[in-house]
A and B are shown apart, each in its own frame.
Chain A
Amino acid sequence: MIKTENISKIFWDQKGGEIKAVLPTSLEVHPGEIFGLLGPNGAGKTTFLRMLATVISPTAGSAEINGFDLLTQPDDIKKSIGFLSGNTKLYGRLSPRELLDYFGQLYDMISCQIKLRCQEIFDLLDMNDFADQRIESLSTGQTQKTSIARCILHDPPVYILDEPTLGLDILTSRTIIQFIRDTTKTGKTVIFSTHYMEEAELLCHRIGLINQGNILDIDSLKGYQQKSGKSHLADIFLDYVSNARGIQS
């Protein structure tokens, strides 16, 4: 369960001017739901998700994840989420097993619990072959699997995924899409961002269209199709963007 209330972030540029990365945003994502944030590069998706993941703090507004307050209970939030993004790189000089062991300790898991959970994950993601190799020697796909393993280690109820398939080949991104699908079956909440329209069409129960820090609309794919009379999400998105421009000018 994710709930945000007018959460926003302002950055300062070099000239001292304001750059509004994310305008006040309110939304709710429910357990068992996959919510997609769809928008071009620089739309503010990453900033929004980073705020939810407590990596950066919001300039204004508040949010609640799994019943915990973003501003006052960041540690509880961290324990309740699995955050995965293109920026969450792994320690190359550790093996997947050592990495999971380290993160397990940070998540306050006891050592036998960590061992059991590791084996479970290695079987689930088919990682047994490379579980003891150094991460720097792994292929992109194997590394991404390790990232997912890191993300699901503590079995969080909420997943925050920032462009998890960016730059991956079809096989590897398939692994991730499969993983996202499977998690919601167990009642997890998923919020993820992408700029691949087809991924959003395939996975999301609801989609938020985001451009220049603004959420333009939130609806299901069917809803969008009915509203606009167009079938492809890409066309629908372009309509929204040009409408928004029209209003501005």
Chain B
Amino acid sequence: MNLKKITAVYKKELKDTLRDKRTILMMVLVPIVMYPVLFILMNQIQSAGLAKLELEKSRIAIKSAAPVYLDSLLKNDDKLFMVCSEDPMADLKNGSIQGIVDIKTMTIEKSSAIPDSILIYYDGAVERSQMANSRTTKLVEQYKRQSQKDNVSQAGLDTAILEPFGWRSGNIAPPSRMGGRILGFLIPLFLVITILMGAMYPAIDLTAGEKERGTLETILTAPVAKMDLFMGKYLTVSTIAIITGILNLVSMMMTFGLGFIQLGVISGKMDFSLSPLTLVLILFMIIPLALFIGAVLLSVSLFARSFKDAQNIITPVYLALMMPTFIALSPGIQLNGFLALVPVANITLLFKDLLLNTFSAENIFLVFLSNCVFALLGIMTVSRLFGSEQVLMAEGKGLQFSFKRSRIRPVDVLPPSTAVIICTVIMILLFYVAGVLQLRMNHWGIAITEWGLIFLPVLLALWYFKANYRMSLHLRGFNFGAGLGAILLYIGSMGLANWVDLMQAKVFPESVKALEPLQKMLDVNALGISPWLGVFLFGLGPGICEELLFRGMLLSSFRKKMAPAAAIVAVALLFGIFHMSIFRFVPTFLLGIYFTYVVYRTGSIYLSILAHTLNNSLAVLLIYSPTLASKFMWLTGEKPFPPQAIAVMTGLVILGVFCIHHSTKLTDRK
């Protein structure tokens, strides 16, 4: 990275972008004009409508004669107008009247002529009728209270017994918090939308636009690293996004501040002015939001060949970015340790906290960090793509996929992007289908999941993309040394992973509870099947299927393009994520490292299938047989992990690695 060149690119792109009318429009004009206009318009339409409704009289029909007092109440109310109607129900339905008061009096001989019941009909879908209902209800209640008083005094009692105690409810939220509640909804929503809109044009303009106008080839002949060029562009998009966010926030605050003061009715209950600290913190949080959105938009538009193409690609991304905001804005969702790591959603939630004054410095730090880290990760990945000729020079191609198999060129192994997409699709399938299947079909559901949703898709993908099965799945034998090493290493790393698991359970006791459903699922006694079927279903099935996916397809694809350590960690990470439980992540990641390393080094999938099967079968058998479990109490956490076991395990790991290293040779890398 060359800071001087990044600065040169940044300055130029900023100048260039700011001369683009569309950018200026989105960045400056929209916020300055939109909020006041939107607000005034909405306000006027709403208040005009409300005022009109308030002024209008409600037309009410009375069925049968009303008692004198009620009758006078209804007739004397200046907002009600009594009409005669032949068929009041029909009139209410067609809207010529807004309400019906139906008075049912069964016992005529009652001296007081108090009716048995009063029914008020109204049309809940019509606002006028709703208003008629509330107006009439008020009067009927007044009548009811009067009747109660009359009855009580007739019985010779004090009317005070009707009010044994006084009561009222009090709102302790100061006006600023009431305002904050509304702002907590509006500010994040508007900020995310406007930052998206503001950053979209420069993002497209600086990538797809440059391709379309043919300036990209010019700049590529100049001695500037593609990485520097991309960073300059990214900084530009982020700057525009930040400016857009700030302008929007300021304009929004001014509009609300001024607007609601004019609306005297509400301003008494709500206060929309922010304390300087809140304002500064919100302004500060615009930065990570803008950095993240900028990164996403720039990355996506990089793949487009033209402006129009980019807009098509960005639309779904736009929706995807809005989604976390909507979820975060649903009632009852609070910022917690997990949500603090979800970009965009965490900022939305933090805004809510900031405006309600319930934020913590720790959360601000987490949210800021996670957005920046995600943005940086994305940018690093994409800037590498930016270097690739296919993306840069795809003239008239862009993101075009050909789905005809006949057009696909045979490959040894899948390219990493394809492999990751397939893996993601499988995970999504599992997420939606596996749960239902396993709920309905118990253990056979697992078999269908493993073979139908993992094994089959992997084979299909390899067939479709014409990959070499042998190379893609690491279908290769192994020699004695490698086998021995793998087994030693397995025992060692399984033990260590288990130890880490138990450590984790100590720190997060909730993890034990979270694992209960899994243990229940593996309980062959409860399922009423033989342990050997259990071993077959839960041991061999996952052993084969998951290994073919992770240590087969993914690893073979990654090892071609990545450094060994990176490939192994990436596969293990995906393997950890695949188990879809935050508490199983660490142990599965560690086991994943072991499986991946073994296959990477030996080139043989059979070793990891063996180890994976052993590992799962052990879990099944430990749950099945209490006598077996009692021999390995420290594995199940019933007894503390003996320190000498850790030493032995570590020793086995070292011995295993040594064995494998001595009996294998890596041939596939330069």
A81 interfacial contact with B, CB 8 Å: yes
When the two chains form their complex, are residues A102 and B12 in contact, meaning their CB atoms are under 8 A apart? yes
Contact present for A90 and B5 (CB under 8 Å): no
Contact A94–B407 (Cβ < 8 Å):
no
| Docked complex: A65-104 residues within 8 A CB-CB of B | 75-76, 78-79, 81, 83, 85, 87-94, 98, 102-103
Q: Which of A54, A56, A76 contacts B393 (CB under 8 A)?
A: A56
- B-side contacts of A102, CB under 8 Å: 8, 12
Name the distance in Å between B500's Cβ and chain A's nearest Cβ. 45
CB of B394, distance to nearest CB on chain A (Å): 12
Interface of B is mostly: helix
Q: CA–CA, A87 to B221, complex, Å?
A: 11
A89 to B402, CA, bound (A): 30
From known contacts A14-B407, A15-B407, A56-B389, infer whether A93 and B20 are also in contact, taking CB-CB under 8 Å: yes
**B residues less than 8 Å from A15 (CB atoms):** 406-407, 409
A88, B407: Cα distance in complex, Å: 32
A170 in the interface (beta carbon within 8 A): no
Task: Determine if A88 and B389 form an interchain contact, defined as CB atoms under 8 angstroms apart.
Answer: no
Name the A residues within 8 Å of B406 (CB-CB): 15
Q: A96 CB to closest chain B CB, in angstroms?
A: 13
Given contact pairs A15-B407, A106-B5, A150-B218, A91 touches B16 in the complex (Cβ within 8 A): yes
Among B220, B222, B389, B408, the residue within 8 A (CB) of A103 is B222
CA distance A91 to B410 in the complex (A): 41
Contact of B8 among A12, A14, A55, A105 (CB under 8 A): A105
Interface centre among B213, B217, B406, B410 (most CB of A within 10 A): B217
**Beta-carbon contact of A106 and B222 below 8 Å:** yes
Q: How far is the CB of A122 from chain B (nearest CB, A)?
A: 19
Of A14, A17, A134, the residue contacting B402 (CB under 8 A) is A14
Contact A55 B221 (CB under 8 A): yes
Chain B residues lying within 8 Å of A55, measured Cβ to Cβ, are 217, 220-221, 393
Q: How far is the CB of B392 from chain A (nearest CB, A)?
A: 9
Q: Is A57 an interface residue (CB 8 A)?
A: yes
Task: Looking at the assembled complex, report how far the CB atom of A168 sits from the nearest CB atom of chain B, in whole angstroms.
Answer: 16
Asked if A123 CB lies within 8 Å of chain B CBs, one says no
A93 to B19 CA separation, bound complex (whole angstroms): 7
* Interface status of A16 (Cβ within 8 A of chain B): yes
Contact residues in A for B19 (Cβ distance below 8 Å): 93, 134
User: Quick check: is B640 within 8 A (CB to CB) of the other chain?
Assistant: no
Q: Quick check: is B517 within 8 A (CB to CB) of the other chain?
A: no
Q: Bound state CA distance, A106 and B15, in angstroms?
A: 16
Q: Distance in Å from the Cβ of B415 to the closest Cβ of chain A?
A: 13
Q: Does A53 contact B (CB under 8 A)?
A: yes
Chain B residues within 8 Å of A76, by CB:
223
Cross-chain contact B215 with A91 (CB below 8 angstroms): yes
- Interface size, B (range): 20 to 34
Q: Does A179 contact B (CB under 8 A)?
A: no
Q: Which residues of A contact B20 (CB under 8 A)?
A: 93
Q: Is the CB of B214 within 8 A of A88?
A: yes
B407 and A57 contact, CB distance less than 8 A = no
* A-contact 0/1 string along B1-30, CB 8 Å cutoff: 000110011001001100110000000000
**Contact between B408 and A16, CB atoms less than 8 A apart:** yes
> Beyond A16-B409, A89-B214, A105-B5, is A53–B221 a contact (Cβ under 8 Å)?
yes
B409 adjacent to A106 (CB under 8 Å) = no
Residues of A within 8 A of B648 (CB): none
Report the separation of the CA atoms of residues A71 and B19 in the bound assembly, to the nearest whole angstrom.
37
Question: Taking the complex as formed, is B533 at the interface, i.e. its CB lies under 8 A from any CB of chain A?
Answer: no
Complex alpha-carbon distance, A90 and B16, angstroms: 12
A54 to chain B, nearest CB (A): 7
Of chain A, the residue at the smallest CB distance from B21 is: A93
1/0 per residue, CB under 8 A from B, across A29-63: the answer is 00000000000000000000010011111000000
B221 and A88 form a contact (CB under 8 A): yes
A-chain residues with CB within 8 Å of residue B402 when the two chains form the complex:
14
B342 interface residue, CB < 8 Å from A? no
A129 in the interface, Cβ–Cβ < 8 Å?
A: no
Q: Identify the closest chain B residue to A50 (Cβ).
A: B217
A98 near B15: Cβ-Cβ < 8 Å: yes
> Does residue B436 face the partner (Cβ distance < 8 Å to A)?
no
Whether B8 lies near A78 (C-beta < 8 A) is no
**Least Cβ distance of B567 to chain A in Å?**
24
State whether the Cβ of B224 lies closer than 8 Å to any Cβ in chain A: yes
Q: Mark B393-414, 1 if CB is under 8 A from A, else 0.
A: 1000000001000111110000
Give chain B residues whose Cβ lies under 8 Å from the Cβ of A91. 12, 16, 215
Assess whether A78 is in contact with B221, with CB atoms less than 8 Å apart: yes
A91 to B409, CA, bound (A): 38
In angstroms, how far is the closest chain A Cβ from the Cβ of B399?
14
B16 cross-chain contacts in A, Cβ below 8 A: 91, 93-94
With A15-B406, A53-B221, A55-B221 as contacts: A90 and B215 at CB distance below 8 Å? yes
Residue of A nearest to B20 (CB): A93
Residues of B within 8 A of A56 (CB): 389, 393
| Chain B positions 37 through 68: 1 when the CB is less than 8 Å from some CB of chain A, otherwise 0 | 00000000000000000000000000000000
Asked whether A108 is an interface residue with its Cβ less than 8 Å from the other chain, the reply is yes
List residues of A whose CB falls within 8 A of some B CB. 12, 14-17, 50, 53-57, 75-76, 78-79, 81, 83, 85, 87-94, 98, 102-103, 105-108, 134, 150
Given contacts A102-B8, A106-B5, 18 further A-B contacts (CB under 8 A): A16-B408, A17-B409, A50-B217, A54-B221, A55-B217, A55-B220, A55-B393, A78-B223, A83-B221, A88-B214, A88-B218, A90-B215, A92-B213, A94-B16, A98-B15, A106-B223, A106-B224, A150-B218
Sample (17) of A-B pairs whose CB atoms are under 8 Å apart: A15-B407, A16-B409, A53-B221, A55-B217, A87-B214, A87-B217, A87-B218, A88-B214, A91-B16, A93-B16, A93-B20, A94-B16, A103-B222, A105-B5, A105-B8, A107-B223, A134-B19
Measured CB to CB, the residues of B under 8 A from A are: 4-5, 8-9, 12, 15-16, 19-20, 213-215, 217-225, 389, 393, 402, 406-410
